[in-house]
Amino acid sequence: MPDERRDIVVIGGGIVGLACALEFSRRYPRLRLMLAEKEDRLATHQSGRNSGVIHSGIYYRSTSLKARTCVQGAKEMVAFCKEHEIPHQICGKVIVATKPDQFQGLEELQKRAQANGISGLRVLSQEELREIEPHCAGLRALHVPGAGITDYVKVSEKYAQIIAQNGGQIWLQTKVIGLRTDQGGYVLETTQGTIAAQYIVNCAGLYSDVIAHMAGANRDLRIVPFRGEYYELIPQRGHLVAGLIYPVPDPRFPFLGVHFTRRINGHVDAGPNAVLAFKREGYAKTDFSLSEAFSELVFPGFWRMAAKYWRTGVAELYRSCSKRAFVHALRQLVPEVESSDLVPAPAGVRAQALERDGTLIDDFRFEGSGNLLHVCNVPSPAATASLVIGRAVADMAHAQFGLKS
């Protein structure tokens, strides 16, 4: 028999699941709220293995959810870090054109940024760029002074602390392995026994499609894992990068290209690339899961995506296998970087939703049916935007579930 019935169960203790639970705990203090996380710690996967950047929201179309949530989310993230004394720094970012044919891409970004209401941007000449990033080789750059860095594990832990103070429960080592309807709600089968829930919010990140499929929802979406591998600059060479140095991104692809990121702990990371992976939580190059690879390969969208992007995919794979190729990409931005300056650093894996027709979904996507809400696609900048995403999901839940405070 299931134990005590919960009103809302959030599946997934990454920054997005926690932000949703945080908002539920604030709006509905009388509801019995629980968050189930399969690991023994919070923020173990994407939320603890990212670049730690507080993005400003310049990359996204103004009509997109990404733009709307990121611009506001960045302000709120900075305010949250200040209020809770979480280390953060507004170090600024430069997006660097290293070839004249990238100038137009830079202009497009500037237009997008203006449309998204981001102020303080400046186009820098080569000399002006050198004043900010003395070792950077760009011909022209866009300076985004409001971009910053933080530690999203600490942010996630603070969300959890507030949820607990508001009366919500967080269960670790609780993996959801089954889902069935029961008395107008659901019974979750977990590794800690059964849990009855009236409403469920699926924030399972790399496994959000698996949970959605358990509930019989959208079979036309599949999460495809893209590993992001990093190197770290050895401390003696950390001075080569003052803040955040990014290339002009390829607008056809939802990733930003390898870049330099100064971390809040003072280290400088280089990366991440975006390598198609065959294990969702596979952080090593050799990680492989037969069942996960099989489920990826039998999805028709996979082959359509492969047909569209195989060139980029091969280039990313080559850069993953060849440090020389990785360094070559980095040297476009900072020519003084040598292979011996870089040591491997822990990788992350992005959960990227793919449609049956081979489209990599660029924007955030949430879907609801009955008593269930699925957070289907929340790639970068979802850590930055998490507080606003939490509110958006709670708004959806309010409308869909008819929740009353």
Ligand X SMILES: Cc1cc2nc3c(=O)[nH]c(=O)nc-3n(C[C@H](O)[C@H](O)[C@H](O)COP(=O)(O)OP(=O)(O)OC[C@H]3O[C@@H](n4cnc5c(N)ncnc54)[C@H](O)[C@@H]3O)c2cc1C
Phi/psi for 157 (5° steps) reads -65, -35
Binding residues among 343-362 for ligand X as defined by CB under 6 A:
348-350
Regarding 81 and contact with ligand X (CB under 6 A), the answer is no
Interface residue with ligand X among 10, 11, 94, 277 (CB under 6 A) is 11
Q: How far is the CB of 375 from ligand X (least distance, A)?
A: 6
Nearer to ligand X, 140 or 156 (CB): 156
Q: How far is the CB of 99 from ligand X (least distance, A)?
A: 25
Interface residue with ligand X among 24, 80, 186, 207 (CB under 6 A) is 207
Regarding 50 and contact with ligand X (CB under 6 A), the answer is yes
Residue 117: count other Cβ atoms within 10 Å of its Cβ.
Answer: 11
Distance between alpha carbon 232 and the CA centroid of its chain, in Å?
20
Q: How far is the CB of 9 from ligand X (least distance, A)?
A: 10
In angstroms, rounded to a whole number, what is the distance separating the alpha carbons of residues 102 and 138?
10
Residue 319: both structure tokens together? 């850069």
Nearer to ligand X, 120 or 178 (CB): 178
Q: Which amino acid is at 15?
A: I
**Which residues have C-beta within 8 Å of that of residue 250, sequence separation ≥ 6?**
257, 312
Nearer to ligand X, 58 or 204 (CB): 204
Q: How far is the CB of 35 from ligand X (least distance, A)?
A: 9
In angstroms, rounded to a whole number, what is the distance separating the alpha carbons of residues 375 and 16?
9
C-alpha to C-alpha distances, 261 to 201, 233, 394, nearest whole angstrom: 33, 10, 32
Nearer to ligand X, 12 or 105 (CB): 12
Alpha helices in 169-270 (DSSP H): 208-214
Region near ligand X per CB under 6 A, out of 60-68, 292-300, 328-336, 382-390: 382-390
CA angle centred on 138, ends 135 and 139, rounded to 5°: 135
Interface residue with ligand X among 46, 102, 198, 377 (CB under 6 A) is 46
Q: Are 242 and 233 in contact (CB under 8 A)?
A: no
Interface residue with ligand X among 92, 138, 145, 228 (CB under 6 A) is 228
Q: How far is the CB of 234 from ligand X (least distance, A)?
A: 21
Residue 162: both structure tokens together? 């507030």
Region near ligand X per CB under 6 A, out of 47-55, 90-98, 159-167, 302-310: 47-55
Q: Are 81 and 88 in contact (CB under 8 A)?
A: yes
Q: Are 168 and 161 in contact (CB under 8 A)?
A: no
C-alpha to C-alpha distances, 295 to 260, 292, 358, 376, nearest whole angstrom: 34, 5, 15, 17
Nearer to ligand X, 47 or 102 (CB): 47
In angstroms, rounded to a whole number, what is the distance separating the alpha carbons of residues 174 and 206?
16
The 12-41 site mask, x for binding ligand X (CB under 6 A), equals xxxxxx------------------xxxx--
Regarding 51 and contact with ligand X (CB under 6 A), the answer is yes
Q: How far is the CB of 4 from ligand X (least distance, A)?
A: 19
Interface residue with ligand X among 203, 275, 276, 354 (CB under 6 A) is 203
Residues of this chain that bind ligand X (CB under 6 A): 11-17, 36-39, 43-47, 49-53, 55, 175-176, 203-207, 228, 272, 348-350, 378-384
